[in-house]
Structure 1
Amino acid sequence: METYTAMRHFADSWGLAAMTLFFLAVVLFTLRPGGRKAAERAAEIPLKED
């Protein structure tokens, strides 16, 4: 089997599934309870004076 064809079949099946799971994990992590407070603290870091 040709290398390109094998990689293409992998990307079409398991690669797509992995990217979908990663996307859902990022969305769920962003929208988790308590995430707003952590995001607000992180957003204020550049504005704090030393």
Structure 2
Amino acid sequence: MNETYTSLAAFAQTWGLLYFVILFGIVLAYALWPKNRKRFEDAANIPFRED
């Protein structure tokens, strides 16, 4: 049983880390994509608007 847990934990740590690194890269690319710049600038200025 202990060997199974250790193997499963190592698998989850390795592939979980890889999954989150890839996910972070996708989110970062989306946030920095030039096409989305205006959308994020508009959202950043919402608190300064006087409606």
Give the structure-1-normalised TM-score: 0.71
What is the root-mean-square deviation in Å for CA atoms of aligned residues? 1.9
Q: Output the amino acid matched with 2:50.
A: E
Q: Output the amino acid matched with 1:35.
A: N
Task: State how far apart, in whole Å, the 2-side matches of 1:4 and 1:29 are.
Answer: 37
Task: State how far apart, in whole Å, the 2-side matches of 1:4 and 1:23 are.
Answer: 28
Q: Output the amino acid matched with 2:21.
A: T
* Structure with the largest fraction of helix: 2
Q: Tell me the secondary structure at the aligned position of residue 41 of structure 1.
A: helix
| 2:42 aligned residue | 41
Q: Which runs of 5+ in 1 are unaligned?
A: none
| Count of equivalent residues | 48
Q: Which runs of 5+ in 2 are unaligned?
A: none
Q: What are the residue-to-residue correspondences of 1:1-50 with 2, within 5 Å?
A: 1-2=1-2, 5=6, 6=8, 8-9=9-10, 10-11=12-13, 13-50=14-51
Task: State how far apart, in whole Å, the 2-side matches of 1:35 and 1:4 are.
Answer: 44
Give the structure-2-normalised TM-score: 0.70
